[in-house]
């Protein structure tokens, strides 16, 4: 948590760091991965520090007990699969998929690493008591699930360092800050879904043997002529398998920049699409700039991919969610980088507001053939059959049928009597969890776990009228039946969970959200743009010619360039019939990389730049001079000058040296827990245990002998809810 030392060299001005550090030169941790979320309002914990709302079943709010979240699901949110779903008449289902994909680019709250109660050690999966970190979702007696489960397992989000913890000694509690949660990925729109948010992740994803700056691809399978994501290193991995598949036929989970890539087939497809786009750009950059080394190519391609994520999100996606009036009001035109704006993700945005998209998911994943009709070999399937099932991409037609389904089928339209489909409330992760989860209840419970204030507090924050009676509530929610259900369950509008309250509001003109979520999402998206020094429109990041080329690109063009799909809508997010609304890929504009072509640098009498062991160099022209910037690989420390400049007399100095960091010598921040021994290895370290104990899942501490977990059920233990 200590502020990092930030380089002031040429490279630091040209490329963002993988972990988001040093984006803001004065507040170096703003927006960085593995840092605390920020609060726009003080948290509302039952004990004032840490206990979630609803922790004490007898606690009352405005004279009423909070309803069980599962009861809210049953009485307000759940929609039967057999119901004829309202369809969005403007937008395709790829709008929903982009929302999930880009959410994973800037938001991920890790949960407690413990699966057992801190006091007493009870297994959270086997109890129905609130014992930190266990916060189980209780199932009402009237619920059909009650015959099978008394509770649905739920683990609290991990607190950030220095924040109040329910297990803390009460004598010291008063000197701590209220419990706060962590964002494990960078807050920026920076394509960390492709590249990761830590140096360790980045190293796993890169193909260092390539001279073209490529990302690793699958060495066992291909999708026709196109690449697939590599597999994770863990074997057997925790993903579901094809029925009756033998051990030799296993398909492991895909490895991507974000750990939730395998959640659903369409999300894995989006990750795969951008792996291909990086490698396509990198190969072209290598051809037009043969003097570039692999490090330069990788960083330039990553910079372009990050810009495209920003453009597609802010130009093509967000205005459709907001409508033009609300977009102009809450976000508006870009006015440049503002170093006083904190881009760090807010708790309410991550935990409530940006989860609006869960109400737009359809119950089936559509798979279509070349004529955009139901695929004869790989028909459409129920959503729950696609959770953590990458084998279906490899065995059942690859990306193309899935992407056609996203382009040609509409999103679900959120209406007050159809909020959340049963595939999400009754069958979430049913293939890999011992007990299916309920996304609606998870969202509500997570908001209470994070101590989010209630609906009216957030309306007041957004300078909207507080709605404190049933009649007043109808000013924001016109459906009387919906309002009556809310009042029956919550007793008072102040008690209403922010996620449900925001969802319930009538949409703004031309929008897919109401005024409260427009305020909260708009405030965050504006901060992500204005507070990012590497936002693509910030002068000096790209040339004017490069900016013009970037604006020509689109999600439709990315699909054309990286699949066998030949016909697409000009705007991938707009729904329309085939073939009237579709054009051939030849008619879809795209960026031309000629704007990135450079003449080989003239280094005069200096000769080729000197290489270094365990590090890389990148040419970084500055003020007309040839400057070489050096970086060491992860686990090594740069000793000597960070940059060399070519002048008449040659290089300005001898090159630096990358020396191994001995992580085991750091007494202030030990690499391993005291229960383990630390062994330094070149570029890294490992923690080892005695013969009588095993290394824990995090690889840092030793634990007693334990039973092996069935790989088919590891998501219910190891990764649990880290997939909300």
- Looking at the annotation, which residues are catalytic? 104
In terms of Cα–Cα distance, which of 558, 564, 616 is closest to 279?
558
Q: How many whole angstroms separate alpha carbon 430 and alpha carbon 655? A: 56
Q: How many whole angstroms separate alpha carbon 678 and alpha carbon 685? A: 7
- CA 495 to mean position of chain CA atoms: 29
Give kind and range of the element (H or E) at residue 78: strand 78-79
| DSSP letters for 451-481 | T---HHHHHHHTT-----SHHHHTTT---HH
- Dihedrals phi, psi of 103, to nearest 5 degrees: -60, -40
Q: How many whole angstroms separate alpha carbon 254 and alpha carbon 683? A: 26
Burial class (CB in 10 A: 0-12, 13-18, 19+), 721: buried
Q: How many whole angstroms separate alpha carbon 263 and alpha carbon 243? A: 18
Q: How many whole angstroms separate alpha carbon 574 and alpha carbon 555? A: 12
Q: How many CB atoms lie within 10 A of CB 125?
A: 18
Q: How many whole angstroms separate alpha carbon 347 and alpha carbon 54? A: 18
Under DSSP, the state recorded for 281 is H
For the CA atoms of 464, 470, 475, 479, the dihedral, rounded to the nearest 10 degrees, stands at 130
In terms of Cα–Cα distance, which of 407, 347, 404 is closest to 163?
347
CA distances from 411 to 35, 66, 372, 656 (A): 34, 32, 16, 55
- CA 105 to mean position of chain CA atoms: 4
In terms of Cα–Cα distance, which of 407, 393, 368 is closest to 229?
393
Q: How many whole angstroms separate alpha carbon 67 and alpha carbon 65? A: 6
- Sign of the CA dihedral running 17, 22, 25, 27: positive
Q: Both tokens of residue 34?
A: 């593995």
In terms of Cα–Cα distance, which of 332, 304, 308 is closest to 319?
332
């Amino acid at each position: 948590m200590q502020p990092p030392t930030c380089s002031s060299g040429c490279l630091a001005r040209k490329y963002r760091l993988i972990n988001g550090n040093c984006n803001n030169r004065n507040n170096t941790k703003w927006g960085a991965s593995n840092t605390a979320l920020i609060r726009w309002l003080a948290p509302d914990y039952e004990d004032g520090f840490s206990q979630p709302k609803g922790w004490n079943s007898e606690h009352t709010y405005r004279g009423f007990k909070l309803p069980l979240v599962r009861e809210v699901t049953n009485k307000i949110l759940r929609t039967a699969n057999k119901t004829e779903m309202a369809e969005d008449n403007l937008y395709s289902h790829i709008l929903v998929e982009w929302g999930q994909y880009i959410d994973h680019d800037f938001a991920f709250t890790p949960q407690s690493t413990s699966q057992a109660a801190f006091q007493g050690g009870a297994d959270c999966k086997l109890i129905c008591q609130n014992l930190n970190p266990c916060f189980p979702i209780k199932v009402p007696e009237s619920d059909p699930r009650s015959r099978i489960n008394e509770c649905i397992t739920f683990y609290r989000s991990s607190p950030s360092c220095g924040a109040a913890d329910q297990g803390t000694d009460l004598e010291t509690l008063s000197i701590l800050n209220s419990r706060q949660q962590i964002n494990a990925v960078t807050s920026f729109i920076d394509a960390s879904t492709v590249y990761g948010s830590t140096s360790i992740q980045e190293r796993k994803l890169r193909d260092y043997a390539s001279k073209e700056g490529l990302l690793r691809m699958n060495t066992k399978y291909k999708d026709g002529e196109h690449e697939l994501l590599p597999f994770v290193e863990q074997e057997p991995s925790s993903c579901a398998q094809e029925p009756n598949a033998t051990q030799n036929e296993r398909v492991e989970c895909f490895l991507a920049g974000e750990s939730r890539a395998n959640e659903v087939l369409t999300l894995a497809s989006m990750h795969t699409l951008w792996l291909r786009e990086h490698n396509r750009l990198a190969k072209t950059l290598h051809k037009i700039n043969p003097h570039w080394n692999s490090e330069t190519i990788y960083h330039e391609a990553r910079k372009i991919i990050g810009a495209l994520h920003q453009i597609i999100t802010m130009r093509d996606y967000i205005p459709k969610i907001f409508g033009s009036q609300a977009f102009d009001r809450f976000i508006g035109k870009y006015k440049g980088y503002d170093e006083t704006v904190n881009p760090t993700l807010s708790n309410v945005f991550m935990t409530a507001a940006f989860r609006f998209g869960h109400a737009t998911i359809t119950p089936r994943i559509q798979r279509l053939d070349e004529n955009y009709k139901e695929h004869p070999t790989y028909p459409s399937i129920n959503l729950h059959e696609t959770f953590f099932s990458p084998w279906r991409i490899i065995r059942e037609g690859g990306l193309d049928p899935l992407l056609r389904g996203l382009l040609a089928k509409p999103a679900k339209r959120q209406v007050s009597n159809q909020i959340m489909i049963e595939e999400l409330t009754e069958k979430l992760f049913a293939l890999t969890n011992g007990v299916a989860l309920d996304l609606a209840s998870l969202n509500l419970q997570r908001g209470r776990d994070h101590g989010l204030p209630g609906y009216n507090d957030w309306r007041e924050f957004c300078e909207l009228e507080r709605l404190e009676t049933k009649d007043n509530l109808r000013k924001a929610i016109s459906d009387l039946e919906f309002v009556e259900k809310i009042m029956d369950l919550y007793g008072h509008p102040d008690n209403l969970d922010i996620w449900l309250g925001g969802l319930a509001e009538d949409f703004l003109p031309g929008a897919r959200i109401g005024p409260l979520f427009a305020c909260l999402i708009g405030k965050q998206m504006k901060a992500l743009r204005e507070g990012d020094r590497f936002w693509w429109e910030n002068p000096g990041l790209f040339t004017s010619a490069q900016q013009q080329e970037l604006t020509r690109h689109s999600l439709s063009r990315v699909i054309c360039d990286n699949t066998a799909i030949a016909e697409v809508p000009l705007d991938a997010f707009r729904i329309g019939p085939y073939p009237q609304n579709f054009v051939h890929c030849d008619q879809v504009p795209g960026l031309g990389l000629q704007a990135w072509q450079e003449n080989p640098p003239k280094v005069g009498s200096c000769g080729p730049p000197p290489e270094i062991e365990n590090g890389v160099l990148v040419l970084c022209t500055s003020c007309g001079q040839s400057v070489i910037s050096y970086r060491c690989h992860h686990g090594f420390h740069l000793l000597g000058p960070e940059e060399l400049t070519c002048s008449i007399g040659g290089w300005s100095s001898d090159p630096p040296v990358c020396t191994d960091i001995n992580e085991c010598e750091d007494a202030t921040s030990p690499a391993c827990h005291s229960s383990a021994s630390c062994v330094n290895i070149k570029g890294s370290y490992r923690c080892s245990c005695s013969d009588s104990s095993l290394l824990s899942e995090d690889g840092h501490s030793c634990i007693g002998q334990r039973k092996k977990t069935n790989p088919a059920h590891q998501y219910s233990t190891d990764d649990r809810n880290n997939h909300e």
